[in-house]
A and B are shown apart, each in its own frame.
Chain A
Amino acid sequence: MIRKTAMMALVLATALGACSSSSETATGPGTMVLATGKSLVGRLWGGGTPPEKASDLEIAAAALAKSETPMMLANLDDGPTFLISRTDRNGPISTYLSSSYQSASFEQGLLHATRGFGRDMMSAQANALLPAILRASAEPVTGTHVFRYLDGESVEQELRLTCTVRNAGPQQLALLGQSAPTTQMVEHCDMGDNTYVENLYWVTSGRILSARQWVAPGAPHLVTRVLRFE
């Protein structure tokens, strides 16, 4: 209800807006991403293989057929699914872009940055932990995970957290109508004050097939599923 009022107010604001000879402000896709939609997250976590939304399968099939680039399906908690494809690579970091010009950068599936979501991860560092996640280490591994984000004044803040990666056992993952055997890795970072960051990774054969990763304070998590690996 509050959102409806806000939308109405926004419409009113746009109606009062100006026209000019040059386009100045670019409206972002953020509102679209934040719109409610059916979530596939719940389906990912279910024990068995519940049916996926037909539209997701269609998006995926069409995209895979159209191009050779690495791509993933992504969504923010409770948000609609969108496709991201790799456009660039700088060293170990690959950047994926969506059709609404939001991007996410990964290092072998571990989230390094997002852009265009309103509350973004500016950059990250998890050198000590990534190998343990990828090899689905049986033993818990502890290391530092650094997160950087912009605060309310757009000043870059850095969070250095001590995180532990644990093996949560094998799990069948429902993906595109097929069932994939994976190992679930859980990364838990304690922040004190009864708050923590928790990231989930589903790993298979040394690669992250799917993940649910924390982005920034006050922001929804980013859930990704690989359609085509790099």
Chain B
Amino acid sequence: MRYKNLNIGAGGCGERSEYMAQIVSRLMTSKNTARKSRARQVASSKAFRRSVLGLAGLSVIYGAATSAEPLITQTRGTYGTPGVIDMPTAEVFNDGYVGMSSMFWGAGSRHNISFQISPRLTGVFRYTSIDDGYLDGTDDQYYDRSFDLHYQILGESDTWPALAIGLRDFVGTGIYSGEYIVATKALRPNLTVTGGLGWGRLGSKGGIGSPFGSRPVFDIGNGGETNSMQWFKGEAAPFFGVEWSPRQNLMLKAEYSSDNIDYEQQAGNVTRKSSLNFGADYRISETMSASVYSLYGDSVGFQFNMVLDPKGTAYPSGLERAPLPVRPRPNPNVDMAAWSQAWTAEPDAPPVLRESVATALAKEGIYLERMGLTGERVEIRIRNDRFGAMPQAIGRSARILSRALPASVDTFVITPTSDGLPLSSVTFKRGDIERYENSASSEIKSAALITDSREAEMLEGVTIDDQFPRFQWSVGPGLKLHIFDPESPLLGDLTARLNMRYDIAPGWNISTQVSQKIIGNLDKSKAPSDETSLHRVRSDNYLYERNGDLTVDRLTVANYSHPLPNIYTRVSAGLLETMYGGVSAEALWKPVGSRLAFGAEVNWVKQRDYDQRFSFLDYDTVTGHISTYYEHNSGYSARLDVGRYLAGDVGATLELAREFAHGWRFGVFATKTNLSSDEFGDGSFDKGITLTIPMETLLGSPTTKTVHSELRPFSSDGGAKVNVQGRLYEKVREGQEPALNDEWGRFWR
């Protein structure tokens, strides 16, 4: 299966992730190859990106300010945005950057995930704990979640500084709420100065007036609303900062803070004795750094930062084995006999050829499902089980066909499949494969024809015997995580996970996943404290989390079909996810070259019993959505679902995402239904961010696995969807444009 949705999606901020150990090991490995380069060797890929993309590229992005360059930084402040310490700067991170940081000081801790969503827009999701918080009236830690947005309005030019505005903690309970406008200038390559004006919490000390009127009080209500009526209102106070890098890997910082740290002072663990903060930032490796701070003259702070830069993978051309070279056909003038079609008369020839192609493909991790063969044409259906990019599987298949088949076979039609579903067909002339093996990948792309499989396939293919029925199983470790919950920050179970899959025939499969808890504290998951008039379709997730023994996470039988050109269908039945079982049916209309697609899905589901075995509870419902998908050039995409959700509410979900050519994908989503904020409960409306990472970019070795996470600051029962695996859109788009085009550079890899 190409796409795995690992999201729990229920209760607090659920997130499940796999392959943590491999991720850690990748992050700990500095880029050794770059380090070993000699002095005279060409500079690292970052310099290349700049020189290759050229200033022409930058001026397209930055429009009128053609001489302005984005002021890019590697360091972050304590809030996760580009910053000095507590104060922000006008810098941005590298496009596509994802980073995590954890900061600890006398008053508590802050944990940030930072995203450079686009070249100028930075977003931060934050989870903090304040010791002895008084806000909920108890003596416990006070946990808070917040979001920031930071936008660089102007890049830096020779004379002018970079300019940015930001909204800090603009959705939620407002502990850190503030807005700012800030300017930063690099006086020298290693010396940067910053000055700005802050409102809200950033204007709480040393205010110089209220330029836009007074700041209204924010009615938190159920949380989850933006505090837009407060933005840039109230006292404004200046702040300043200096960052100096006396030597490589070390940065010294000083700032004059306009934050009065009211909440932290009232909690009693810190006293504001000074407006000056000092810090030192040490870069341990390309991906890790650590900082030490002296804060407000009263406290010491420590911060650890880690970077995941999807554009900086260590092995851009992979570590997999070299492909088999194309074998060109002999010159027909010299060896006419080799080109004859006499071989088609021999009854043994096609099975022998099928066998040799199947064997050669299998060695590459590609499985031949069907082959049609005449004297002049071959059509194969392949299942890519190895390579993260479909074009690579197609390219390797074309190479093998060039080696295995008699010279007369002149046309290759390669159809990648997923769960038996033909995704598209790519047609080549063999002569082009021979001619373009050693040239730019764009040459073979222009020569290829990508169409719907129902248009391209003409032959009646033979299904390869040993492919169906097929049984596979795997056992491995798994993680069930429950994080960012205000009641309990980090809960998780280490599980042993058994996956089994039985492919009955092309398009039909039965698959299951069973987990057994080994060790963990997920059973300490608490009941939600809020009242709700809705049926608890998701908020009683804690009852499921308490059961870890032999849980059947999923057991479904599914059928995939491509009945008409551009139309794909799916029907799944069984235990669809942890909390629900039933029947799910889906249809998708997506022409091969189209950026627009439409889908419809209907689910009839019954809530499963808490032990996650084979019994059900009383609640059942019908959910369904009509979906519109749009994928734009340069990786931005949008998706709109309109329909009925698990609690019976009706509304719409909008998701906006950005996907890099390599498959890393960041998204943000929000759902609005006909529930009022009060009915909805905590959070007011469902919202969150998504992050999808193809494992191949982290590991280097080829694999089709991806990690998909959804982070929600609040989770509730409104706007909840059934978490069905194997939905059509993600499956189908992998084998069509624009995904094929984005990854076509790997065709000859």
The interface of chain A, by Cβ under 8 A from chain B, is: 2-3, 5-6, 9-10, 12-13, 16-22, 24-31, 34, 77-78, 87-88, 90-91, 93, 95, 97, 101-103, 105, 112-113, 115-120, 122-123, 125, 148-159, 191-193, 195-198, 214, 216-221
Contacts and interface: CB of A to CB of B under 8 A. Distances in A.
A110 B33 CA distance: 23
Give the 4 A-B CB pairs with smallest separation, nearest first. A18-B476, A28-B319, A20-B474, A156-B745
A20 B473 contact: yes
A166 to B, nearest CB: 16
Given A77-B38, A153-B311, A154-B749, 7 more contacts: A16-B477, A21-B471, A28-B701, A120-B317, A122-B441, A154-B746, A156-B442
A149 B51 contact: no
Contacts of A93: 437-438
A118 B319 CA distance: 5
Contacts of B661: 153-155
A220 B32 CA distance: 11
B385 A9 contact: no
A119 B363 CA distance: 23
A21 B319 CA distance: 23
Contacts of A101: 321-322
B743 A195 contact: no
Q: How big is chain B's contact interface, by range? A: 35 or more
Nearest to B477: A16
B60 interface: no
A137 B309 CA distance: 45
A13 B30 contact: no
B564 interface: no
B48 A217 contact: yes
9 contacts: A2-B32, A26-B365, A34-B33, A90-B327, A150-B749, A151-B316, A154-B317, A154-B746, A158-B440
Contacts of B318: 28, 116, 118
Contact of A19 (B36, B309, B475): B475
B386 A26 contact: yes
A113 B439 CA distance: 10
Contacts of B273: none
Interface string B293-333: 00000000000000001111111111111110111100000
Contacts, number: 228
Interface stretch (B18-26, B237-245, B712-720): B18-26
B311 A218 contact: no
Interface string B195-207: 0000000000000
B188 interface: no
B667 to A, nearest CB: 18
Contact of A156 (B38, B311, B441): B441
B262 to A, nearest CB: 43
Contact of A150 (B33, B38, B746): B746
A217 B42 CA distance: 7
Contacts of A90: 325-328, 434, 437-438
Contact of B440 (A16, A156, A220): A156
B52 A157 contact: yes
B28 interface: yes
Contacts of A196: 42
A41 to B, nearest CB: 10
B21 A154 contact: no
A113 B438 contact: yes
Contacts of A192: 51
A41 B325 CA distance: 29
A6 B25 contact: yes
B37 A30 contact: no
A218 B37 contact: yes
Report which residue of A22, A154, A197 has the largest number of chain B beta carbons within 10 angstroms of its beta carbon. A154
Contacts of A103: 322, 325
A206 B475 CA distance: 58
Contacts of A125: 439
B490 to A, nearest CB: 19
Nearest to A20: B474
A186 B327 CA distance: 33
B472 A17 contact: no
